Amino acid sequence: MSSPTEAPSPLTEHWRHFSRNRGAVAGLAVVLMLLLLALFPGGFAPHSPIEQFREAALSPPAWEDGGSRRFLLGTDAVGRDILSRLIHGARLSLVIGLVSVSLSLSLGIVLGLISGFMRGGVETVIMRLMDILLALPSLLLAIAVVAILGPGLFNAMIAIAVVMVPHYVRLMRASVIGELGKDYVAASRIAGAGTLRLMFDTVLPNCTAPLIVQATLGFSGAILDAAALGFLGLGAQPPTPEWGSMLASALEFIQSAWWVVTFPGLAILVSVLAFNLMGDGLRDALDPKLKI
């Protein structure tokens, strides 16, 4: 008997779909680069992020008149090298994204599973609570949470996580309800599975594709929100090289020294764009409904 042709492994197949999308691959490349910078900032940054070169304060980028090769992207008002600060800031941005996305993702999964499984009273309470959270403007809500917890990078992450939770809960609940109607769930119950096993072993793996996509997109949202909080002085505190707070402290030089404002802004733009492109590509690769 001839053995059947081996089907491509799921990973290979997903990669084939993903790589067809040029933008997604570009996004992935930028994300990988950010990851590299975040893991080894010392290896790439020419200077320390907090060292002040007073004699070279506000020196322009290297290609401008008066710029020097020593500070490629110029220096800020107290003479810190912008390039080095941006490179060290990449780690912060990724940590912010990772922590707040994992916090809200795990909370969202649990709440979504509970409300999907316990239709009725519990579900109503959870979902109406989420509706209330969604009804508040996200930045305002984040500011309110930070106001309660006090300013700081970690509290900003918690605030961002709280803001993002409703999206995951809704997504999870919708997928759970869709999956619960299928026979394999009944088959699993018949095999003697209890509610917890049904929730986490049977149903959860079948709901992951939309969650992965939402989490990737949420990553960029988290970076953006953290920058906004930092800009308002509620996130990372000086001298932490966080992109948002770099923008905030450079605000007064927007007319006189454009580079101090532009480069942190560009860094935020590029990384958010990269995560969004990658998320879109992931959705196309993982969502079977979009496959032809």
In the complex, the residues that contact another protein under the rule CB under 8 A are: 1, 3-4, 7, 10, 182-184, 186-194, 202, 205-206
Smallest gap from Cβ 205 to another protein, in A, equals 4
Smallest gap from Cβ 182 to another protein, in A, equals 5
Question: Among residues 15 and 184, whose Cβ is nearest to another protein?
Answer: 184
Q: Could you give the 3-state DSSP secondary structure of residue 129?
A: helix
Smallest gap from Cβ 125 to another protein, in A, equals 17
Smallest gap from Cβ 78 to another protein, in A, equals 54
35-44: Cβ within 8 A, 24+ apart: 35/94, 37/87, 37/90, 37/91, 38/90, 38/91, 38/93, 38/94, 38/95, 39/91, 41/87, 41/88, 41/90, 41/91, 44/87
Alpha carbons within 13 A on the beta-carbon side of 163: 27
Q: Which amino acid is at 65?
A: D
Question: Among residues 7 and 135, whose Cβ is nearest to another protein?
Answer: 7
Q: Which amino acid is at 132?
A: I
Question: Among residues 150 and 192, whose Cβ is nearest to another protein?
Answer: 192
Question: Among residues 65 and 183, whose Cβ is nearest to another protein?
Answer: 183
Q: Are 270 and 37 in contact (CB under 8 A)?
A: no
Question: Among residues 71 and 117, whose Cβ is nearest to another protein?
Answer: 117
Smallest gap from Cβ 185 to another protein, in A, equals 8
Question: Among residues 14 and 189, whose Cβ is nearest to another protein?
Answer: 189
Contacting residues for 185 by C-beta, under 8 A, at least 6 apart: 179, 198, 202, 203
Smallest gap from Cβ 285 to another protein, in A, equals 16
Closest to 232 in 3D by CA, of 135, 136, 152, 133: 152
Contacting residues for 163 by C-beta, under 8 A, at least 6 apart: 104, 133, 138, 141, 142, 145, 225
Smallest gap from Cβ 208 to another protein, in A, equals 8
Smallest gap from Cβ 289 to another protein, in A, equals 14
Alpha carbons within 13 A on the beta-carbon side of 197: 10
Question: Among residues 191 and 292, whose Cβ is nearest to another protein?
Answer: 191
Cα-based angle 251, 100, 180 (whole degrees, multiple of 5):
140
Question: Among residues 46 and 194, whose Cβ is nearest to another protein?
Answer: 194
Name the packing angle between helices 208-231 and 153-180 (round to 10°): 160
**Residue 186 and residue 72: Cα distance in Å, rounded?**
63
Q: Are 119 and 252 in contact (CB under 8 A)?
A: no
